[in-house]
Amino acid sequence: MEWENHTILVEFFLKGLSGHPRLELLFFVLIFIMYVVILLGNGTLILISILDPHLHTPMYFFLGNLSFLDICYTTTSIPSTLVSFLSERKTISLSGCAVQMFLGLAMGTTECVLLGMMAFDRYVAICNPLRYPIIMSKDAYVPMAAGSWIIGAVNSAVQTVFVVQLPFCRNNIINHFTCEILAVMKLACADISDNEFIMLVATILFILTPLLLIIVSYTLIIVSIFKISSSEGRSKASSTCSAHLTVVIIFYGTILFMYMKPKSKETLNSDDLDATDKIISMFYGVMTPTMNPLIYSLRNKDVKEAVKHLLNRRFFSK
């Protein structure tokens, strides 16, 4: 490879759904509606977790963090994606791409770790209820949540720095809606094996390890529930973790579907993703944040009561 002929890129072109103007308009409307639902739904969960004294517990503290995380996560990508749908200019600067990579990866990593923390919280609540106030005291659950954010930021900073240091030349077309870190890495005109190794280690530590914690926690929870003699006790215990388990299934299920689904020979022999793959990738980023407030409000009696109380207080105060 002749390095002397390489030029340093200062911006990237986000391909997205270029060439599909009708799809761009359709998905602009769909994604915009979902983004509004994300802001309103998760904003409401944050508000009630702060204002309602009955929700000042570890579980709802984690839920408030998860809702704030979902708002931050989608805000790093959705507004710019919506603008690109309506604009002919679909470029982004190298520095802007680095910021987008950092924020997206940080939020994604934090969510994985936070879901693992929430699973541990449910394990302690169901399997060790008498010791729950001691184990999950404020001195414990606040550092746990803060640790999730710190882990996400550190992991993202390390990976982003290594990617930004790569030389980029000639090809500046990112075959994605946003600066997804793997899509950017593939544009580098250098060996990226070190970056891939760092990404593999990070995936094991911050995606698979929390998933293992979730699996172990819910295995022990299920065993504990079956040991409860009364049907009412089993039902109550199940209801306390059903919403979180549903969110975990949607979150990790979407990841597994997106990265493990079989690809056609054309896709395997080409650097281009087809429109279906990119649409699935886009919805992965918005589906879980959209569903979270709906799941927690529909399947949680405490949340529904808190929302009703908030609405009544706002209505009667006028």
* Per-residue pLDDT reduced to its tens digit, 105-128: 999 899 999 999 999 999 999 999
Angle, alpha carbons 167-188-8 (nearest 5°): 40
Burial of 153 (0-12, 13-18, 19+ CB in 10 A): middle
Q: What percent of the chain has pLDDT over 70?
A: 86
Which residues, other chains included, contact 197 with Cβ-Cβ below 8 Å and sequence gap of 6+?
none
pLDDT of residue 270: 45
pLDDT of residue 139: 96
The residue ranges of every structural domain in the chain are: 11-258
- pLDDT tens, position by position, 134-190: 999 999 999 999 999 999 999 999 999 999 998 887 778 887 788 888 888 888 888
Ranked by mean pLDDT, the top range of 11-15, 87-91, 190-194, 300-304 is 190-194
252 compared with 310, residue with greater pLDDT: 252
Q: Which candidate, 293, 134, 119, places its Cα nearest to that of 218?
A: 119
Which residues, other chains included, contact 102 with Cβ-Cβ below 8 Å and sequence gap of 6+?
156, 157, 160
Which residues, other chains included, contact 186 with Cβ-Cβ below 8 Å and sequence gap of 6+?
192, 271
Least reliable range by pLDDT among 14-28, 94-108, 264-278: 264-278
Query: Distance between the two ends of the chain, CA-based, in angstroms?
Result: 71
- Pairing between strand 11-14 and 173-174? parallel
CA distance 311 to 35: 22
Ranked by mean pLDDT, the top range of 5-14, 97-106, 149-158, 283-292 is 149-158
Answer for the pair 52, 306: CB distance below 8 angstroms, yes or no: yes
Answer for the pair 170, 6: CB distance below 8 angstroms, yes or no: yes
Q: Does pTM surpass 0.85?
A: yes
The residue type found at 210 is: P
* DSSP-H helix ranges across the chain: 21-51, 58-75, 78-86, 94-127, 132-135, 138-164, 181-185, 193-203, 209-226, 231-260, 265-268, 275-298, 301-316
pLDDT of residue 269: 40
Least reliable range by pLDDT among 15-29, 50-64, 160-174: 15-29
Q: Is 1.10.357.10 the CATH number for 11-258?
A: no
